[in-house]
Amino acid sequence: MLSILVGHSFFLRFDTKQFERAKPYPPLATLQVAELLRRQGHEVALFDAMLATSTQDFDRQLAAVQPQVVLLYEDNYNYLSKMCLAKMREAACAMVASARRAGARVIVAGSDASDAPDHYLRAGADVALRGEGLDVLPALLRRLEAEAALPGDELLAGLEQPVSLQPRGGDADLEAPAAWDLVDIERYRTTWVAAHGYFSLNMAASKGCSFRCNWCAKPIWGQRYQQRSAAAVAAEMAELKARFAPDHIWFADDIFGFRADWVQRFAAELDARGGGVPFTIQTRADLVSDAMARALADAGCREAWIGAESGSQQVLDAMNKGTTVDEILQSRQRLKAAGVRVGFFIQLGYLGEGLPELLQTRQLIEAARPDDIGVSVSYPLPGTRFHEQVKAQLGAKTHWDDSGDLAMMFRGTFGSEVYRTVRDLLHEQVSLGGLDAAARRRAGDEIKRRWAQLIESLSPAAALMP
State yes or no: pLDDT of 344 exceeds 90. Answer: yes
Hey, which bits of 238-353 come out as E strands? Answer: 248-251, 279-283, 301-309, 341-348
Contact 438, 329 (CB under 8 A): no
Contact 12, 186 (CB under 8 A): no
Domains and CATH numbers, the chain: 3-164 (3.40.50.2300), 198-464 (3.80.30.20)
| Mean model confidence pLDDT for the chain | 89
**What is the predicted pLDDT for the residue at 135?**
78
Burial of residue 20 (number of CB atoms within 10 Å: 0-12, 13-18, 19+): exposed
In this prediction, residues 195-220 reach a mean pLDDT of 88
What is the model's pTM? 0.90
Please tell me the least confidently modeled range out of 180-189, 280-289, 294-303, 409-418.
409-418
- State which of 24-38, 205-219, 448-462 shows the largest mean pLDDT: 24-38
CB 50 within 8 A of CB 43: no
Residue 224: pLDDT band with limits 50, 70, 90: confident
| Spatial strand order in the sheet of 248-251 | 200-203, 248-251, 279-283, 301-309, 341-348, 372-377
What average pLDDT does the segment 179-207 reach?
97
Residue 150 has pLDDT above 70, yes or no: no
| Phi-psi map region of 391: left, alpha, beta (phi>0 left; psi -120 to 50 alpha) | alpha
The C-alpha angle with vertex 427 and arms to 426 and 428, in degrees rounded to 5, equals 90
Half-sphere exposure of 165 (CA within 13 A, CB side): 8
Strand duo 69-73 + 43-47: pairing: unpaired
Q: pLDDT higher for 46 or 82?
A: 46
pLDDT at 82: 74
pLDDT band (50, 70, 90) for residue 169 = very low
Please tell me the distance from the alpha carbon of residue 153 to that of residue 131, in angstroms, as a whole number: 22
Q: What is the pLDDT of residues 248-288, one digit of tens each?
A: 999 999 999 999 999 999 999 999 999 999 999 999 999 99
> Rounded CA gap, 25 and 14, in Å?
15
Instruction: Evaluate if residue 222 carries a pLDDT over 70.
Output: no
Count Cβ atoms within 10 A of the Cβ of residue 130 and give its class: 0-12 exposed, 13-18 middle, 19 or more buried: buried
Amino acid at 158: G
Give the span between the Cα atoms of 336 and 333, in whole angstroms: 5
Q: How many residues are present in the chain? A: 466
- Mean pLDDT of all residues in 124-144: 86
Assess whether pLDDT exceeds 80 at residue 119: yes
pLDDT at 459 over 50: yes
pLDDT the model gives residue 460: 59
Q: Residue 218 — pLDDT band, cuts 50, 70, 90?
A: low
- Convert the pLDDT of each residue in 386-439 to its tens digit: 999 998 998 877 778 888 888 899 988 999 999 999 999 999 999 998 888 999
Kindly state the helix (H) or strand (E) to which residue 83 belongs, with its residue range: none
Each residue's pLDDT tens digit, 305-332: 999 999 999 999 999 999 999 999 999 9
**In the prediction, which pLDDT does 84 show?**
73
- Statement: residue 462 has pLDDT above 50: no
- How much of the chain exceeds pLDDT 90, in percent? 71
Instruction: State the amino acid at position 388 in one-letter form.
Output: E
